[in-house]
Chain A
Amino acid sequence: MNFPILSFITFLPFLAAVVMLLIPANRKTEVRGVALAAATIDLLLSGWMYLTYLLNHLTGYQFIETYDWLPALGISLKFGVDGMSAPLVLLTGIVMFTGVLISWGDYDEKIHLSAGIQDRPREFFAFLFLLAGGVFGVFVSLDLFMLFFFYEIAVFPMYLLIAIWGWVKTREYAAMKLTLYLFVGSVVALVGALAMYWTQYQNTGVLSFDMLLMENAGFSPVFQYIWFLPVFLGFAVLGGIWPFHNWSPDGHVAAPTAVSMFHAGVLMKLGAFAALRVGVMLLPEGAKQWSWLIMTFAAVAVVYGAYIAFVQPDLKYMIGFSSVSHMGLVMLGISTLNYNGLLGAGIQMFSHGVMTALFFAITGMIYDRSHTRQIPELGGMVKVMPFAAIGFIVGGLVSMGMPGFSGFVAEFPIFMGVWGSQWLVAVIASVSIIITAAYIMRNIRQVFFMPMPEALKEHHITDVTALDKVAIVTLCLFMIGIGLFPAVMVPMIETGVQNILRLLGGA
């Protein structure tokens, strides 16, 4: 285990971004090739890391690498993954790989199809990879300073990616709104982190951002009570927690497809994960005090998000709000602070990431061909793109929490966790299952199975490309695999949950 796999995974995207920028702008194919190669290597590496962790039944933090960065202030580049973060690293690898595939965007002369990214792919992939590198960094960082460092790196390319390559009508507004929301959240959390840093110094005389040390910093209950909310909510903004979810659907809609995939698939997990790792794990007493509030927010998000998704006529808005709803489930699981809830939250993060990436990928494919996302204007897609239809249906079933798919494996323990904590919330939140089923089934029917409107027939809609199919199959495999065989992920997340429970005092 001497090979520094985590730093390799994290820094490869940065390296690839630099390499891409050095390629002349008109060599688009080479740029895409570098992107795909880097994404593939990262996927393989993260998969290898994941399997190593899983098959060896490892527990706790593994693959730890430590490099002193600024010893004077106790900042070090400390990487390591546990059962909670390892699946998310894999998720990032998956989304990165599929994101590159569906953004390939070679102009097809024969069918006049302009899908993917045509305009300045070099900059697009470079920014996308910066984003990916930042995301990897957050998931593997065990140093609070580095976590923030990578967190911010993951936020700002979003602005450019959305503003430059996004949907013309709303991109400027959405990109700015998104960036400001996330930035506000992260700096609020940063203040909390700094307060933790100094309080640790006062309490123990240790000057360090190392989160493993901070677990034992002996923060007083009052301190935790005060700082938990800023820290947790600051990160949770990126997790799309109600009532700070406002940026998210707008951002999803405006973003280009691969960015939507990243955004909903990975970035929102980033928020939830950081909120869990910094908020709950370092301030457990605060978490216990405030869990009722988080649970309330989350329950509202679950039902409200589902309802708003139900009434959306725009396919992307529909998925955007469904993400709010599903991320609400993650938050709900976290807020239970018990075994089942946290377990479910961990799985749901992965499951939702893959699912929503798939949704956005297919929505992008449809939009590229039909130039509309208005659900009533769509129809009959199953005839021209059966592959996409199957993918969308699988995603829909995951979204509904249908057994046999990863969504069920995730949502069921979450609800169990809520039962163990506050049963009424479980009853209320379960309403969302029905609403979700209703809008998913209705939209699948309308988009894929209703007769194609006359206006659409003029667009010469064609089937998805071979690369798209690879992406769809990859994503579907993970959702079905986990749904049928929870053992490929659950034991790992269990070890992560055990660690959190230990910090919570065996609650």
Chain B
Amino acid sequence: MDYLNTHLLSLILFLPTVAALIMLFLPSGETKLLRWFAFSASLIPFVLTLVLWAGFDPNAAGFQFEEVYPWYEALHSSLHLGVDGISLSMVLLTTLLTPLAILASFSVTDRVKPYMMLFLFLETGMLGVFMALDLLIFFVFWEIGLVPMYFLINQWGSANRNYASLKFMIYTMGGSLGLLLAVQMLGVLFGTYDLLELYQRWNALDSGTLLGMSVSTVKAIAFWAFAIAFAVKVPVWPFHTWLPDAHTEAPTAGSMILAGVLLKLGAYGFIRLVLPFYPNEAKYFAGALAFLAAAAIVFGAFGSFGQTDFKRLVAYSSVNHMGFVVLGIAAAGLAAGTADAHIAMNGAVLQMFNHGLSAAGMFFLVGVIYERAHTRNLDDFGGLFPLVPVYGGILIFMSMASLGLPGLNGFVSEFMIVRGAYPVLTVYTAISMLGLLFTGAYILKGIMKVLHGPMNEHWAHGEHKLTEINAREILVALPLMALILVIGVWPAWILEVINKAVVALF
């Protein structure tokens, strides 16, 4: 038990990889075995995360469960892990969504073994980013997560997957180029990659010259190098164009993870690295960031409204929702230290969590209907509610969460962001509110096109008859719905954990 407590984070982090390596030696033909093995293997980190949550002291400041192992000593980089409230919620999100995504992928029949292994590798990659307290390790996991995702899209995606996967890869790697260079610069300057130490020393550096330029110029450039890398991942307008393609082409579970967790990596990067490293720049450029966020919200909503492909519609909705996260971050950067900032930041982190739940749910539901109908074109559907009432109910529930219906989780977080941002970024927040209006419009459009209106007789009879959502799929949706509802009604249990970290940081 003692071992468990001292190695909890590394266990959560590496168990999926170990499971994947074990899978390597399982027979490829036994798809049933492989599926259940992967699923149960991914449940262990979830259980451990619950242990972690239970052992986490929300009142203590700073990072908990820290672990340090030597890694690349020559560069003074070590495998330094630790969580605070913000990362803890993200870890929970990841370990929760991965088993659900694996469960949702039980319908995959093509090369199950590599598919499941990639998912497990992906989980390690994502968790590593959230746990890393070392800049180099952060970058390592940041990049490494790309690979399994690339192959998931490229191998198990739909028609246009080649284009989409390459675009995903190149955009993200291109975006991280600046990050890479800035990380290297920091490493050269300070001879360490430890985040806690870098926070201190980098911020202590505020005058003089560096690389032949004034420190403020260097910091401004480095700020944007960081910001762009994360902005691509979030994605913030105008760097979002990879996202609809990647989402649309990815397999269902891939989209779930992509929207549910991977996008959060970008936002998490803002919170963990950009704001602590560049408080002044964040304040200075908050307007620009808020502008991009507002643009993402509005254009995401418009884009979403214009789609005829159900999955693209949901994909653009992610741009819209993640825009709120960035808005909250911008506000927190501008008003650092004030209560407004704390509210906005709390909202942003909660929004990340919430969007993880609802976006994963939405993509899953799109996947469910796609598997049956083999089309995602909204115009091909219509009036399906009577045919699949259970599915329809779940879809409406998820959509409402996404729309921000009070009583469900989306409302709580979006309200907090707007509340926090309004006093400091009034104009952009107002514009974003207009975007919120369109959120309602496109979500209702989606529901209408699929469930209501005149029934498309094509799906009612014969070989195309739509079947109801099955028990396994309900099992995937249920935990999501439960959490959505719980957070909507009683958000305190998670905000309590997040808030302490937020206050400590900003």
Contact = CB atoms under 8 A, between A and B. Distances in A.
Q: Does chain A bind chain B?
A: yes
A434 B144 CA distance: 15
A404 B122 CA distance: 13
Q: For the complex of A and B, list the 8 residue pairs with the smallest distance between their C-beta atoms, beginning with the closest.
A: A403-B140, A419-B188, A486-B72, A490-B74, A404-B144, A403-B143, A416-B184, A420-B188
Interface string B166-187: 1001100110010011001101
B144 A438 contact: no
Nearest to A433: B177
A404 B72 CA distance: 12
Interface string B61-74: 00000000011111
A412 B136 contact: yes
Nearest to A419: B188
A23 interface: no
Interface string B467-486: 00000000000000000000
B178 to A, nearest CB: 9
Contact of B143 (A340, A402, A427, A491): A402
Given A343-B74, A419-B185, A445-B166, A434 B177 contact: yes
16 contacts: A340-B188, A397-B147, A403-B142, A403-B143, A409-B72, A415-B184, A416-B75, A419-B184, A419-B185, A437-B169, A441-B165, A441-B170, A445-B162, A445-B165, A490-B74, A491-B74
Nearest to A339: B74
A449 B150 CA distance: 13
Contact of B147 (A402, A434, A445, A449): A402
Interface in B110-142: 136, 139-142
Interface string A445-466: 1000110000000000000000
B interface: dominant SS: helix
Contacts of B71: 486-487
Q: How large is the interface on A (under 10, 10 to 19, 20 to 34, 35 or more residues)?
A: 35 or more
A416 B188 contact: yes
A397 B146 CA distance: 11
Interface in A406-443: 408-409, 412-413, 415-416, 419-420, 423, 426-427, 430-431, 433-434, 437-438, 441-442
Contacts of A402: 143-144, 146-147
A190 B144 CA distance: 45
A285 interface: no
Contacts of B75: 340, 412-413, 416
A40 to B, nearest CB: 26
B155 interface: yes
B154 interface: yes
Contacts of A431: 177
A interface: dominant SS: helix
Q: How large is the interface on B (under 10, 10 to 19, 20 to 34, 35 or more residues)?
A: 20 to 34
Residue with the greatest number of chain B CB neighbours at <10 A, chosen from A430, A431, A437, A494: A437
B169 A441 contact: yes
B204 interface: no
B72 A430 contact: no
B148 to A, nearest CB: 11
Interface of B: 70-75, 136, 139-144, 146-147, 150, 154-155, 162, 165-166, 169-170, 173-174, 177, 180-181, 184-185, 187-188, 211
Contacts of A437: 169-170, 173
B162 A438 contact: no
A427 B74 contact: no
Contacts of A434: 170, 173-174, 177
Contact of B177 (A340, A397, A430, A438): A430
Contact of A427 (B70, B169, B181): B181
A420 B190 CA distance: 11
Given A420-B188, A431-B177, A445-B162, 16 more contacts: A340-B188, A343-B74, A402-B144, A402-B147, A403-B144, A404-B144, A413-B74, A419-B184, A426-B181, A430-B181, A433-B177, A434-B177, A486-B71, A486-B73, A490-B74, A493-B74
Contacts of A433: 173, 177, 180
Contacts of B173: 400, 433-434, 437
Nearest to B189: A419
Nearest to B211: A423
Contact of A415 (B144, B150, B180): B180
A420 B189 CA distance: 8
A427 B179 CA distance: 11
Nearest to B141: A403
A437 B141 CA distance: 17
Contacts of A423: 185, 211
A39 B24 CA distance: 30
B73 A487 contact: yes
A506 B45 CA distance: 48
A230 B304 CA distance: 63
Contact of A416 (B154, B166, B187): B187
A403 B179 CA distance: 14
